């Protein structure tokens, strides 16, 4: 491909060389550049890619994109200057990979909680007809192939690579979690969505967004800035209601009452699942799911609504929904068949998510005692920590504070922050494996052990060390 084609639609000037240069690869990592490559120098938060132009040239790059003047001349290589390299990344990558997003039916789901579960429910429904791709927190899935997910929503270069692979495999639909970071950082700039959806908003990522209004404004941009055919919003959520009332045009709503366009009624919450009648316009569908808790009713209603708007029949929706017993690390129930002790692994790492999880177990009283193991991540929003401590004491009968992913923070400091909100008896065991062991050892038949915060994660980060660790594996060792 000629460089001029890669630059299509980009505002640029040629500092040196020619746009007739042939480009056979594209990357912002100079270590991955080889002969014929286009190196994009980006000023990241902690490192300036312009420092590695010389390295990219030494690796036989054909061209370099910059957004500031260089300190030395590079004769014999094409240098292209743009206003902002990062903001140009989506357009450059999209052009290089043949504008793959234009060939796809892309569904984007945003919100604090429920994104992952909703995408997996949608995947199951869509697979009643065809293969799909899923991009989200747990992993990236392209039909039967799975890839590690370093980010909930990958950057524009990786995203276009995935889109290209999806299109080449003949897959038409991509179901995406859209994180607030990805909107704020422009990772999804240039995408035209078929459907965008809003689940809810509660305290999260305030180390990045600073306050809830900024967080809400960023999330809202998915509906106000990015083009989409269908928009659907949870009007039972306070922020969702605000968003719904602020939008113009054909906006759809969902919730748990008949005021919404799509809703659930006659809900029955049981220890082994949920039953309800799903109302989709004129159609009523009886749903019997093994998923747990009222919050999963919301997730099922949203996934079903999106599928309905995409032309799926009530029978296909029912079949797809009921095939999903749980999503990895999301209210994942593990039964101790001999001991009579049950356990739940859940990703709940925000005050709202933890409260919803514990309320489900506490208010329905399906178990005798609730024994909770949790901590908070390091280098993240510190103000949520005491709130989570208060919630733990409100709903759990026995609380064990432990490490989550401390990262560069002191584990003792993180736990001290949580203890500011603790007003009940509790113990501290910073070794998460031992904390889970103590929880199971304390439990008796009929009790529930809840291990919250890490969910699907199979690692723990302490300092700069990332080691294998799985809450699920730790529980399975001890539950019989």
Closest to 166 in 3D by CA, of 216, 198, 132, 195:
132
Q: Give mean pLDDT, residues 90-105.
A: 96
Assigned token pair, 119? 């995408």
pLDDT > 90 in the chain, percent: 91
Closest to 107 in 3D by CA, of 82, 129, 136:
136
Q: 49 pLDDT exceeds 80?
A: yes
Q: How far is Cα 336 from Cα 343, in angstroms, rounded to an integer?
A: 8
How far from 31 is each of 54, 85, 139, 161, CA to CA, in Å?
11, 18, 25, 18
Q: What is the pLDDT of residues 61-73, one digit of tens each?
A: 999 999 999 988 8
pLDDT band at 206 (very low <50, low <70, confident <90, very high): low
Give the residues across from 370 on adjacent strands.
448
Q: What is the pLDDT of residues 251-265, one digit of tens each?
A: 999 999 999 999 999
pLDDT number for residue 209: 61
Residue 433 in contact with residue 440, Cβ under 8 Å? no
CA angle, 103 then 5 then 78, to 5° = 140
184: how many CB neighbours lie within 10 A of its CB? 17
Assigned token pair, 373? 């193991």
Residues 6+ apart with CB under 8 A from 272: 290
Nearest 5°: phi and psi at 244? -60, -45
Q: How far is Cα 290 from Cα 171, in angstroms, rounded to an integer?
A: 29
Q: What is the pLDDT of residues 391-415, one digit of tens each?
A: 999 999 999 999 999 999 999 999 9
Q: 87 pLDDT exceeds 70?
A: yes
Q: How far is Cα 328 from Cα 119, in angstroms, rounded to an integer?
A: 12
Rounded (10°) CA dihedral 296, 299, 305, 306: -150
Q: Give mean pLDDT, residues 2-26.
A: 97
Q: 196 pLDDT exceeds 70?
A: yes
Residues 6+ apart with CB under 8 A from 54: 72, 74
The domains located in the chain, with CATH, are 3-96 (3.40.1390.10), 100-322 (3.40.1190.10), 332-478 (3.90.190.20)
Q: Give mean pLDDT, residues 179-206.
A: 89
Q: How far is Cα 475 from Cα 308, in angstroms, rounded to an integer?
A: 38
Q: How far is Cα 173 from Cα 378, in angstroms, rounded to an integer?
A: 36
Place of tokens 């209210």: 331
């Amino acid at each position: 491909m000629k460089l001029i084609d890669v630059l299509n639609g980009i505002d640029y000037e040629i500092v040196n060389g020619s746009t007739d240069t042939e480009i056979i690869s594209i990357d912002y990592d100079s270590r991955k550049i080889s002969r014929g490559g286009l190196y994009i120098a980006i000023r990241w938060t902690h490192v300036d890619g312009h420092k590695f132009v010389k390295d990219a040239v030494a690796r036989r790059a054909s061209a370099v994109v910059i957004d500031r003047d260089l300190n030395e001349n590079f004769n014999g290589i094409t240098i292209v200057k743009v206003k902002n390299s990062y903001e140009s990344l989506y357009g450059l990558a999209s052009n290089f990979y043949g504008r793959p997003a234009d060939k796809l039916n892309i569904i984007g789901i945003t919100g604090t909680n429920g994104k992952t579960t909703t995408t997996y429910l949608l995947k199951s429904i869509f697979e009643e007809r065809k293969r799909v791709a899923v991009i989200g927190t747990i992993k990236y899935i392209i039909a039967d192939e799975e890839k590690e997910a370093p980010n909930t929503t990958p950057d524009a270069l990786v995203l276009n690579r995935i889109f290209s692979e999806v299109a080449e495999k003949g897959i038409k639909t991509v179901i995406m979690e859209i994180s607030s970071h990805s909107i704020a950082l422009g990772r999804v700039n240039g995408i035209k969505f078929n459907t965008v959806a809003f689940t809810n908003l509660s305290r999260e990522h305030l180390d990045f967004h600073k306050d809830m209004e900024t967080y809400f404004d960023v999330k809202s941009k998915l509906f106000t800035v990015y083009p989409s055919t269908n928009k659907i919003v949870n009007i039972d959520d306070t922020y969702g209601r605000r968003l719904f009332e602020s939008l113009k045009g054909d906006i759809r709503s969902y919730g748990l009452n008949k005021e919404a366009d799509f809703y659930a009624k006659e809900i029955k919450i049981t220890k082994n699942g949920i039953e309800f009648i799903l109302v989709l316009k004129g159609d009523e569908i009886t749903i019997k799911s093994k998923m747990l808790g009222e919050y999963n009713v919301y997730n099922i209603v949203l996934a079903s609504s999106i599928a309905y708007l995409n032309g799926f029949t009530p029978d296909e929706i029912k079949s797809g929904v009921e095939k999903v017993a749980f999503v990895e690390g999301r209210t994942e129930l593990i039964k101790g068949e001999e001991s009579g002790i049950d356990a739940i692994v859940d990703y709940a790492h925000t005050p709202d998510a933890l409260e919803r999880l514990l309320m489900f177990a506490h208010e329905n009283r399906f178990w005798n005692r609730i024994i909770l193991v949790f901590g908070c991540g390091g280098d993240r929003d510190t103000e949520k920590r005491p709130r989570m401590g208060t919630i733990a004491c409100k709903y759990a009968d026995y609380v064990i504070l432990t490490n989550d992913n401390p990262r560069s923070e002191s584990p003792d400091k993180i736990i001290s922050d949580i203890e500011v909100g603790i007003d009940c008896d509790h113990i501290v065991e910073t070794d998460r494996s031992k904390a889970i062991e103590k929880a199971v050892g304390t439990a008796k038949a009929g009790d529930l052990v809840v291990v919250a915060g890490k969910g699907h994660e199979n690692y723990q980060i302490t300092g700069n060390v990332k080691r294998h660790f799985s809450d699920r594996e730790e529980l399975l060792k001890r539950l019989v």
